[in-house]
Amino acid sequence: MNFEDLLTEQRNRHSTHIDQVDTADMVEIINREDQRVGRSVQKQLPQISQAITLATKRFDAGGRLIYIGAGTSGRLGVLDATELRPTYGLEESQTFGIIAGGPEAMFNTIEGVEDSAELGEKDLKKVELNEKDIVIGIAASGATAYTVGALKYAKSVGALTIAVACVTDSPLQENATVAICPIVGPEVITGATLMKAGTSQKMVLNMLSSGIMIRSGKVYQNLMINVVPTNEKTKRRAKRIIAAATQTSTLAAERALDRADNNVPLAILLIETKGTIAEAKALLEQAGGHVSDAVKLSLQA
């Protein structure tokens, strides 16, 4: 694959003279190009849906959600994993991002690391990758050696491999169980894939991770119910979530949260079913941790 021939590296005819227009026209050009991103992601919804379905099955069975990439793509993966943990009450072992060059590469450019397929494989071996895991390889070009090497190794051990790229028929795609490829076209600034490509990757990762969390029962209605109330701020948030979910007062939410020993899903179920702690726990276990399903089961009883 000739890197210079990649769509992500081509010149954008709509922004050829962006350095000569006034600021109002400049931002208009950038915004107009950004509007292409949503449409490109929309065309990938079937692949995103498939990836969520397959990943949820592994995640619920104890598989880890692992992001890997270099440069901007790697940083986006680390960001998604880092934000997932407090939002959905996950342990660090359940989801994390790996970036070529290690933690320092989050803030500085580490020369040469993205060109090593062996390093991508080595970094996954360090975390003892296994067949239960989910690996999301992110590379705008679909050709970054580090990420391709990582996904190739992940595929060899039987892990679920998901590629997120902005080109088709790439080496990354060849090693993916599911390939998600929003085609955003040439960047406003030639080769600056932190722009449209980065935006599309962020949108895809948001949808993937949020979808997996929803399907895993960590959302009730549209509320993030796996928040862990460890301090006053998170306790207030937990009470607001319970009150909103059950359409009751914050005082009733507080009482339920105390009864449930700070377990938000259990507190919601206590209010929704008006049952005992033991009954709520049994329903939640029967429903695989899904509050909506547990409520339905209680109505059938």
Cβ–Cβ < 8 Å for 168, 181: yes
C-alpha to C-alpha distance for 260 and 263, rounded to whole angstroms: 5
C-alpha to C-alpha distance for 181 and 191, rounded to whole angstroms: 17
Type of residue at 199: T
Cβ–Cβ < 8 Å for 270, 256: yes
Cβ–Cβ < 8 Å for 280, 270: yes
Residue with tokens 């003892």: 128
**Structure tokens, 115:** 């060109």
Q: For 185-204, give one letter per residue: b (16+ CB within 10 A) or e.
A: bbbbeebebbbbbbbbbbbb
**Structure tokens, 134:** 């989910």
Tell how many helices (H) and how many strands (E) occur in the chain.
Answer: 12, 7
CA-closest candidate to residue 67, choices 187, 206, 168, 227? 206
Our answer to whether residue 121 is catalytic in this structure is no
Our answer to whether residue 83 is catalytic in this structure is yes
By residue count, the chain amounts to 301
Type of residue at 208: L
Q: Which of 4, 9, 83, 272 is catalytic?
A: 83
Q: Which of 33, 114, 187, 272 is catalytic?
A: 114
Active-site amino acid positions:
83, 114
